[in-house]
A and B are shown apart, each in its own frame.
Chain A
Amino acid sequence: MRVGLFIPCYIDQLYPQVGVATLQLLEKLGCEVVYPPDQTCCGQPMANSGFEHLTGGCNELFIKNFEDFDYIVAPSGSCVLHIKEHLHGDTGIPKKIFELVEFLTDILKIEHLEATFPHKVGLHQSCHGQRGLHLAQMSELMAAPFSKLERLLSMVRGLELIGLDRVDECCGFGGTFCVAEEAVSVKMGKDRCADHIKHGAEFITASDMSCLMHLEGILRRANSNVRVKHIAEILNSNDTA
């Protein structure tokens, strides 16, 4: 199968290692992966700010770059959800674009992984992945629990998943919310970090790097030893330390 790799702009620019891990992981699992070099952004930052009408350029570019693939995979639930819900035009893209975790779970249907990460890890449920793409059951719903993320993390040797007081509270990133509502955004992030720290996390992971960028900024400001790692990096890890 031919997979188009969609690396959201902020991962491309700030967290290239997440893109590398995603690529390597998919290749390890037998996918033919191509990264169209002319990609930029899904348009979400503008759309969520009320400027969806300006996103035509991003929209066209996205279609041009990705139309011809069997699947499109991105290590970001938020960007994938945006494309699924708001990509204009009559294309097959919304049906064939997948966030990495759902692609591994629902399309590749992987049952085991060659990965080692001997650390205590706290899982942050990124809202768009969880509530938008249903990567995990939501604590508000009276329905059977499941978590595609936890299932994958449980395949990683040595990884110990910690519990949390609030299993799926938003971190407060929220796109432009993080600066437009700086006070609340930071407070939400601090509270999320505190929950992970209280339960002994060495690492916080998530399926969205944007949440982790926000949490990392808060952790580093507080000189915390706790680090963030995108789930792609952990699933691709061979850390035997």
Chain B
Amino acid sequence: MTQHKDHAALAAAFNKDEPRVDWHDQTLWWVRRKRDIAASKVPDWEALRETASGIKDNVLSNLSQYLARFEQESIANGVKVHWASDATEHNEIVYSILHRHGIEKMVKSKSMLTEECHLNEFLDEKGIEVVDTDLGERVVQLAGEPPSHIVLPCIHKKKEEIGEIFHQHLGTPKGNADPKFLTHAAREHLREKFLTRRAALTGINFAVAATGEFVVCTNEGNADMGAHLADVHIACMGIEKLIPERKHLGVFLRLLTRSATGQPITTYSSHFRRPRPGQEMHVVLVDNGRSAHLGRTDFRNSLKCIRCAACFNTCPVYRRSGGHSYHTAVAGPIGSILSPNFDMKKNGDLPFASTLCGSCSNVCPVKIDIHQQLYKWRQVIVQEGYAPLAKKAAMRTMNWVLSKPGVYHTAGKTGRWFMLNVPFTVNNGLNAWYRQREMPEPPGQSFGEWYKKNKHEQQG
């Protein structure tokens, strides 16, 4: 795999177009505001988050039992259950199902798991065409890009750009960028796909251990259009998506969409329990690093995530750096604590793409301590040797100076020396500070010097 640029470099590129950054920031801030309004209308919202968090704690501590129960119930319901250790196995399972039915074209509704596994690329190489049917996902698919946001996949695209993409691929009139017109064009385009594809793949929002059913939430109805028209329905989920009983859905469905978009619930919350007569229904349970992650005490509760993206929308860094700067399937603060688990070398930059402001942890409907985990990942990444050597040397020097008051006080001219050496500019030098900011004006004396002089005089 080619070396990708890190978050800082990709974010800097995104920031070359400042009006666009403003637009991106304001659009997502608007979503955050809608979330606030929706949450404020639920009495005991904070208690509901606590309950959801508690349910997920129970899930993680009983996951093997719940998985076994879910499998047993699903099979009894007539569903075929598959287990995949990693992305490759997942992709091969999906391919083998399609291959067995001689299917070469498939519709797919939103599944971040299949993004994580790069399923589309895999199937494309096998000669299978996958059409993403979520409008936002279809836009980025036609543009040849990954989604930039897990709930709003093409939020980084302006309507004029989408109009141009549709003009090129769907033949809409050039220059038409009306969202209503474009949505209707996509509706027509995708309806033909729904009606002609024999297989549909969907994600899974929640799977109920006690009943073997799974729930898929969409606003567009694309998961249902695909699944109910197809002969073969394949539903893929990470193993952490289980919940114990159906009644627990009440908690999560109250939280999910209010946190995500500020809607009280998605238009469709579909409960799939048995295939319809004549249909084949498959569930693929995917590990891909999750079971190992479960063993990391400090990080396991990131597996509680229900993929609402509230942490994206509230994150002042995400809003101003764009989803692609995270170079992973799941961007934003939650992506920054999930991704190092998959590949610490490749994603070791992400926990540093945060000011640790803590807003993410406050909006999280399952109360994941996101910003605390960002801090802890930084320690792990450095300890495991993924920090640049120059940074290590600089940190050692800084520590040496700051541990020794004598050295600290005589290290050089007040203020100026400080700005050059500690603590914020270490390893990056002054240029990164000074390029767009003035330096503080060095005072005549430090507080320590003032204190010595004034208090000494006072007391003397």
User: When A and B assemble into the complex, do they touch directly, with CB atoms less than 8 Å apart?
Assistant: yes
CB pair A191–B25 under 8 Å, yes or no, is: yes
Q: Is the interface of B mostly helix, strand, loop or mixed?
A: helix
Nearest CB of B to A149, in Å: 17
- Give the residue name and chain of the B residue nearest to A142 (CB): B45
> Roughly how many angstroms separate A180 CA and B352 CA in the complex, as a whole number?
8
Q: Is A57 an interface residue (CB 8 A)?
A: yes
Contact of B379 among A53, A61, A182 (CB under 8 A): A53
* Per-residue contact bits, chain A 1-40, to B (CB 8 Å; 1 contact, 0 not): 0000001011111111111100100000000000101111
Q: How far is it, in angstroms, between the C-alpha of A58 and the C-alpha of B391 when the chains are bound?
A: 18
How many angstroms between the C-alpha atoms of A10 and B446 in the bound complex?
Answer: 10
Q: A-facing mask of B355-374, CB < 8 A → 1, else 0?
A: 11111011100000000000
Tell me the number of A-to-B contacts counted with CB atoms below 8 Å: 250
How many chain A residues touch the partner (CB < 8 A)?
79
Assess whether B415 is in contact with A14, with CB atoms less than 8 Å apart: yes
A19-B451, A39-B405, A177-B354 are contacts. A54–B424 as well, Cβ < 8 Å?
Answer: no
Contacts A7-B447, A46-B395, A51-B399 given: A176-B15 contact, CB under 8 Å?
A: no
Closest Cβ–Cβ distance, residue B141 to chain A (whole Å): 28
Contact check, B415 vs A216: say whether CB atoms are below 8 A apart: no
Interface residues on B, range: 35 or more
- Pairwise interchain contact B424-A176, C-beta atoms closer than 8 A: yes
What residue of chain B has the Cβ atom nearest to residue A5's Cβ? B451
Contact B402 A40 (CB under 8 A): yes
Q: Is the CB of B352 within 8 A of A177?
A: yes
Contact with B along A215-230 (1 / 0, CB 8 A): 0111011000000000
Chain A CB within 10 A, most for which of B40, B320, B357, B435? B357
Known contacts A40-B402, A41-B423, A174-B355: does B320 contact A188 (CB below 8 Å)?
Answer: yes
The residue that A216 contacts in the complex, of B25, B435, B438, with Cβ under 8 A, is B438
* Cβ < 8 Å to A, chain B residues 400-439: 400-405, 408, 414-415, 418-419, 422-429, 432-433, 435-439
Residues of B within 8 A of A177 (CB): 352, 354-355
Q: How far is the CA of A179 from the CA of B361 in the complex (A)?
A: 24
Q: What 0/1 pattern do residues 329 to 364 of B give for CB contact below 8 A with A?
A: 000000000000000000000011111111101110
Bound complex: CA A20 to CA B391 (Å)? 34
Residue B448 is within 8 A (CB to CB) of chain A in the complex: yes
Binds B, one of A99-107, A109-117, A164-172: A164-172
- On chain B, the residues within 8 Å of A46 by CB distance are 395, 398-399, 402, 423
Beta-carbon contact of B399 and A57 below 8 Å: yes
A131 to chain B, nearest CB (A): 4
The answer, yes or no, to whether B170 is at the interface (CB within 8 Å) is no
Instruction: Answer whether residue A83 sits at the interface, using C-beta atoms and an 8 A cutoff.
Output: no
Q: Is the CB of A45 within 8 A of B422?
A: yes
Confirm or deny: B197 has a beta carbon within 8 angstroms of a beta carbon on chain A.
no
B320 A174 Cβ-Cβ under 8 A: no
Considering only residues 162-219 of chain A, those with a C-beta below 8 Å from chain B are: 166, 168-170, 172-189, 191, 210, 213-214, 216-218
Supplied contacts A47-B379, A57-B403, A176-B426, 11 more A-B pairs, CB within 8 Å: A15-B440, A35-B448, A40-B404, A45-B422, A50-B381, A170-B316, A181-B7, A181-B317, A181-B352, A182-B432, A189-B437
> Measuring CB to CB, which residues of chain B are less than 8 angstroms from any residue of chain A?
7-8, 11-12, 14-15, 18, 21-22, 25, 29, 36, 39-40, 42, 45-46, 314, 316-317, 320-321, 351-359, 361-363, 375, 378-379, 381-383, 387, 391-392, 395-396, 398-405, 408, 414-415, 418-419, 422-429, 432-433, 435-440, 442-443, 445-452, 455
The contact sample of 20 A-B pairs, CB cut-off 8 A, is A9-B408, A9-B423, A12-B448, A14-B415, A14-B443, A41-B402, A41-B423, A45-B426, A50-B379, A52-B379, A58-B399, A140-B363, A170-B359, A172-B317, A176-B424, A177-B355, A181-B353, A183-B8, A184-B320, A218-B437
